[in-house]
Amino acid sequence: MVERSKKPSEIPISPSVPAPLVTISHDNSRVVASLPVGDRIEVLLHGATVVSWKSGSGKENLFLSSKAHLDGSKPVRGGIPLVFPLFGPPSSSHEPTSKLPQHGFARSSRWEYLGKTSSESFAIGSSGADASVKLDFGLSDAMLDEKDKAAWPHAFGLTYSITLSSGELATSLQVANTGASPLEFRALFHTYLAVQDISTTTVSGLESLPFIDKVSSSQSQSDASNTPLTFTSETDRIYSNPASETQLGDHEQKPVTVLSSGRPVYEVRREGLGDVVVWNPWSEKAKGMSDFAPEDAWKKMVCVEAGSVARWNKLEGGETWEGRQAIRAHI
């Protein structure tokens, strides 16, 4: 047997590559996704509602009421409920949505989990800090219950994408008119952000925009405030960009920043969504909500809701619309 003077070196075995993990609960009610660096989200198939978003440090970024209904019996109080095709209570002034429940049916319907798309770091020794995972969910007219079908008899398809990356959560909604007749809708991400203390919380980035104060008896449009928003009582405002600045792909609008004692905590960026609703019920209104708890929960949350709700979005047969937001947690 001839021995070689130089044997070929062994091929090194690369260490396992950190990758995002996605699991579905045993009762098929929720999807959980986590990253190697510890970021984690939970999404109920009921409403495709994100009910938890934790940073790698373990801090929870979303407020969820301790009395929230997570069994599908009611829309979830907290997380990120999805508002479509109606914002607010129904009105006889818009007949096509006049028979729908408040905020529409998307947040109370059961969605289909369509699958995941993940992006991993393939660098040897990587911690997976640049990994991300996208979860897709779908809802169509065929999936609605008979009551909602009768109230809104349109052919449509919704694709809702939720992307988790290190320190950031992005949500995107695509609306497709799959029928021949036009349809009109409004859409919004009803995001409940967790804060340390609402009395030391401010919201900046909306100072130059006019707004409607829904707490005011007149609910008329007010001029831009030119100062960051602070909280001393019930707050419910709709800030709106000019219609010319709301088309997806034109440009990103100015970020909205949530600060705690002057320190940035969250930054919300949006595309295709010309409006932002800022809401906190304060003590008295919170008492009247049976699913809002604990008693002082209003001190620990603020809703910063990116959407398209100031005017109706119209889609002709075959057309699509898309809006998206990205929330970065500065923690």
CB-based burial label for 273 (10 Å; 0-12, 13-18, 19+)? buried
In the residue annotation, 305 being an active-site residue is answered as yes
DSSP bridge pairs for 197: none
Catalytic residue among 305, 316, 319, 322: 305
In the residue annotation, 10 being an active-site residue is answered as no
The Cα–Cα gap between 198 and 233 comes to: 10
Rounded to the nearest 5°, which phi and psi values hold at 148?
A: -70, -35
According to DSSP, residue 146 is labeled: H
The Cα–Cα gap between 188 and 308 comes to: 6
Cα dihedral across residues 242, 275, 329, 129: positive or negative: negative
Where is 266: in which H helix or E strand?
strand 263-271
Q: How many CB atoms lie within 10 A of CB 188?
A: 28
Instruction: Record the tokens describing residue 10, joined without a space.
Output: 């062994």
CB 278 within 8 A of CB 303: yes
The Cα–Cα gap between 276 and 188 comes to: 9
The Cα–Cα gap between 215 and 16 comes to: 55
DSSP bridge pairs for 116: 135
CB 42 within 8 A of CB 24: no
Where is 331: in which H helix or E strand?
none
Q: What are the percentages of helix, strand and coil residues in the chain, rounded to 5?
A: 10, 40, 50
Instruction: Record the tokens describing residue 235, joined without a space.
Output: 């707050």
Catalytic residue among 103, 190, 267, 271: 190
Give the active site residues.
Answer: 190, 305
